Every structure is written in C-alpha cells, then in structure tokens.
Amino acid sequence: MNMRADQETTLAGTPAAAALPAVADLDTIVSLAKRRGFVFPSSEIYGGINAVWDYGPLGVELKNNVKRAWWRSIVQERNDVVGLDAGILMHPQVWRTSGHVGSFSDPLVECTACKRRYRLDELPGTGDLTPTQIADPEIVAKLALVCPDCAGTLTAPRRFNLMFKTFMGPVEEDASVIFLRPETAQGAYVQHRNVREAARKKIPFGIAQIGKSFRNEISPGNFVFRMREFEQMELQMFVRPDEAATAAFDEWLPRRLAWYKAYGVSPERLRIREHAPDELAHYAKRAIDVEYRFPFGWKELEGIHNRGDFDLSRHAAESGENLDFFDPATETSFTPWVVEAAAGADRAAFTFLIDAYREEEVRGEKRVVLALNPELAPYKVAVLPLLKKRDDLVEKAHAIRDGLAKEFPAVYDDTAAIGKLYRRQDEIGTPWCICVDVESLDDNAVTIRDRDTMEQERVSTDRLQEFFLTKLRAARP
C-alpha cells in the first residue's frame, strides 16, 4: 500500500470526490436511532443539552460490541499490548506539561450583534483555508466573513481552550481547579513505567485504553459525530526512537484501515489524509487521519500519530522521574517514542451504523436492513412464535431464547405478525430470526431466517447453540 496520504483516492482506488455517502440524509439515521432505541438526546424532557447523547438499549449493545471488537484486535490478539483504565480526573500538572492548557484550542469568532459563537474553520467559505490562514488575525476582514445566522459583524478569531474545568474537593478556588481529560492518552503516558514493569514488557510494547473524554467543542453537531462528552479507544505504542517509530506508524495505519473494512465499512467510503505541517497537533511529528465519507462530507474517523518523545520527555522533565527505558542488551537508555492510533468509540459505532444501512424493495414493499457484521449486531438472534395466542408455542419460544441468551444476546418478540417481526429485526440488524411454529411442537425443530438472504432453513432445537456459535465464529474477522 502507498503510505503517502492521498485524499484524492478512496481505499477502493475510486475518486474520493465521487464517493457517495451510504445514506444521503443524516436524518434517516437520526430518526432510526431514536425510534428503535439506539440514541436519544440527553435530558430530553428538559429540552436536551447540546452535544450530549444517551445510548438506548440497542445503542449500548452496539457500542459495547464495537469496543469489544477493538479490544479483541488491539489487546486480546496481541502479545505486545496490555490494557489500562486510568481515571478521568488527573493531576492538573499533567495537562500543563502535556501542552493542553497552553495549546489545546480552536479559533473562535463571535457575532457582535447576536452574540452567537462559531468555530472559525466551520464557517461557510472557510473549507479550503490552510491552518496558517485560519491563524491569521485579519482573516475575518480579509474574507468579509459575517454571522451565518444574522449577517452581523464577526470579531477577529481568538483561541478558545477546549478543556472542561471543575473543582476537586470542597473549596472552589483556583488552587483546586482540575480538568476533565480531553484525551485518554495521558493516562497511558504517566503510567507507562508502572505498566511496563508490572506487565514485564520490553520496548516495543503498547498500552490500550477505552474511556470517556470531554471537549468543550465550539461547534459540536452532526448527531454523535462531534460531542462534548464522548468515548475514545486509544492505543499508545512505546517504541525505539526515530526509524522504529516510522516503522510502527507504517505498520499501524494499514492495520487500522483493515479493521474498519473487516467489520464491513466500504473501502469506497474510506480514505486517508495526511496533516500538513501547519495543521499538526502540538504533540505530533506526523499525523494521518483515517476519514469516512459521512452524509455531511469526508471527516476524521481515527488519527494515527507519531508523537515522538514529546509527552514522555516533558513528563520526565516536569516530574523529575526517570521515564527512560534501560535496554540490558545494549546497556543503553533512551526515552521511548510513541505511535498512537486514536479512535472514537462513538464515531466508529456511528460509522458502522451508517455504512450498514440499506433500503431495498421486496415484493413491492420497502425493506430497511442494517447489514451489521453479526459481531456488532445488538441482538444475534430473535425468537418469534408464529402464534402468540398459543401458550405452548410462546412457552417453547421463551425456553429457546433463555437457552441461547446464556451464550449471546437473544430477544423474544410476539408483538406483531411474523412478517412485521422479521422487518423490525432487519431494521435493527439482527442477523438471524427463529420462528417457532406448530410443527415445532412435534418435530422439535424451528425455522431460521437469515437477515441478508432472507432464506430459511429448518434446524433441530438441540443444535441451535452450536449452529449460531459456528455462524458467529465464521463471521468474526
């Protein structure tokens, strides 16, 4: 694979400019998500709170499955990566040392008439600006930018720090200010020596972490794409300096792209984009974004960063602790470099949801299907009695569900006719439905219907667990 970022071309080799989103209108996904219980606005009965979303019964299953799939590929299947669950709250010095207090900011402009605030680079007409142009204090005047809501005059841009602050302890004073972490990565850096020693790892090794992060985004939006409270899945690989870091970067980028593809994201809607030197985050020597063609354009899904020794050197200098690695083979010490694969759990779940969405016509009727990989599907199996008024069928269907649910999520439903029940399960991505009919009472077999092919087969109830476990294993990338 050509490791040079080429945003003109998708991973399928097709022109990126011609890529169509899987769903033309984001509202299709937003309404499905709400109607079927994937995602709800937070605190909705009080009018909601901007940029915070709650995951409903199906959403929490989907997101948990995404996190499990990530953890399996990053931690479980590798011998050189271990896990960590660091606190959201950390010593405030962490964020001064990491550069976030000084540099983790976006350019903010304010309308002098209506007082609305905007992120400069999200205003109409700023899409093609370089980071250097965005940093230009005269840019608003040069481009004659006005408030998109009321056409009022906009102020010159100023840097707005994205970190949330709160107070630790019972006294609300400057000395007790702490931050909600804006990335999980720092937990891995300040714990890397403890983790390495306890896990008896040598360089290269990695620390993986999944957890909440918080950013006071100026212009959140596009549903769960940009939120103020979100979850990250971040891998920090600690490697030898320089060429080893370049090699690790070149190794992890295709590995992460392969993960999205293996779980069903179309390569025609994936591309990579290298950050220009003036766009790099304050810690990065090199950065490539994995981008997805969302209904609202090409946007970042995950970032692969070569952070050099930026974080560890600064933490060592500030704390006075030795964070170097002593290599007994060469009897030399060095500060490890870090290569990071930083993904968003919400963005990944959102992407899988959008990319799985299909509308098709079956016998003159619209069928909506979420063609999720079975491992990501909220329920693996739905058990449906053909006749809900027949107690013996209902009892048998419940018994089948209870047995299967010991191995994987399975759901019982009898609230509509069988055709409608199938459609409902298609719409939430359930890969297999079991129909329990009158014959099942005699032959102890059930009909299994496949979500994608809609084909049906008769399987003995004694074989059901093995049948589905084999299918689930086969579907796992």
Minimum CB separation from ligand GAP for residue 183, in Å?
4
311 binds ligand GAP, rule: CB under 6 A? no
d(CA 72, CA 78): 9
| 185 vs 354, beta carbon nearer ligand GAP | 185
d(CA 248, CA 236): 11
Q: Which of 69, 343, 369, 393 binds ligand GAP (CB under 6 A)?
A: 343
Give the angle subtended at the CA of 19 by the CAs of 16 and 25, to the nearest 5°: 135
Minimum CB separation from ligand GAP for residue 283, in Å?
8
437 binds ligand GAP, rule: CB under 6 A? no
CA proximity to 302, closest of 348, 246, 258: 348
190 binds ligand GAP, rule: CB under 6 A? no
User: Which span (59-67, 85-93, 124-132, 337-345) binds ligand GAP, by CB under 6 A?
Assistant: 337-345
Q: Which of 59, 157, 303, 374 binds ligand GAP (CB under 6 A)?
A: 303
| 343 vs 435, beta carbon nearer ligand GAP | 343
351 binds ligand GAP, rule: CB under 6 A? no
Residue that has been written with the tokens 């009080």 in this structure: 46
234 binds ligand GAP, rule: CB under 6 A? yes
300 binds ligand GAP, rule: CB under 6 A? yes
| 311 vs 426, beta carbon nearer ligand GAP | 311
Give the contacts of 263 (CB within 8 A, at least 6 positions apart).
69, 352, 373, 375, 376, 477
Q: Kindly state the tokens that stand for 114.
A: 């209506």
| 10 vs 98, beta carbon nearer ligand GAP | 98
To the nearest 10°, the Cα dihedral for 195, 201, 205, 207?
A: -20
DSSP result, 258-324:
HHHHHTT--GGGEEEEEPPGGGS-TT-SEEEEEEEEETTEEEEEEEEEEEETHHHHHHHHHH-----
Q: Contact, 290 vs 249, CB < 8 A?
A: no
| 104 vs 379, beta carbon nearer ligand GAP | 104
Minimum CB separation from ligand GAP for residue 162, in Å?
9
Report CA 443 to chain centroid distance, whole Å: 45
291 binds ligand GAP, rule: CB under 6 A? no
Question: What is the total residue count of the chain?
Answer: 477
Q: Which of 183, 309, 375, 414 binds ligand GAP (CB under 6 A)?
A: 183
- Which pairs with CB-CB distance under 8 Å and at least 24 residues apart come from 23-27? 23/295, 23/354, 23/357, 24/295, 25/295, 26/222, 26/223, 26/294, 26/295, 26/296
Q: Contact, 60 vs 158, CB < 8 A?
A: no
**Phi (first) and psi of residue 359, to 5 degrees:** -120, 130
Q: Which of 62, 154, 185, 207 binds ligand GAP (CB under 6 A)?
A: 185
CA atoms lying within 13 Å on the CB side of residue 83: 14
**Contact track, ligand GAP, 193-232, x by CB under 6 A:** ----------------------x-x--------xx--x-x
Minimum CB separation from ligand GAP for residue 330, in Å?
30
User: Which span (239-247, 294-302, 382-390, 400-408) binds ligand GAP, by CB under 6 A?
Assistant: 294-302
Q: Contact, 376 vs 430, CB < 8 A?
A: no
To the nearest 10°, the Cα dihedral for 232, 233, 239, 243?
A: -80
Q: Which of 119, 192, 271, 347 binds ligand GAP (CB under 6 A)?
A: 347
Q: Which of 107, 157, 211, 344 binds ligand GAP (CB under 6 A)?
A: 344
Closest CB to ligand GAP: residue number: 344
338 binds ligand GAP, rule: CB under 6 A? no
Minimum CB separation from ligand GAP for residue 347, in Å?
4
Per rule CB under 6 A, count of chain residues that contact ligand GAP: 19
Sequence letter at residue 118: Y
Strand partners, 291: 271, 300
| 60 vs 475, beta carbon nearer ligand GAP | 60
Q: Which residues 360-399 are close enough to bind ligand GAP by CB under 6 A?
A: none
Minimum CB separation from ligand GAP for residue 299, in Å?
9
286 binds ligand GAP, rule: CB under 6 A? no
Q: Which residues bind ligand GAP (CB under 6 A)?
A: 183, 185, 215, 217, 226-227, 230, 232, 234, 300-303, 340, 342-344, 346-347
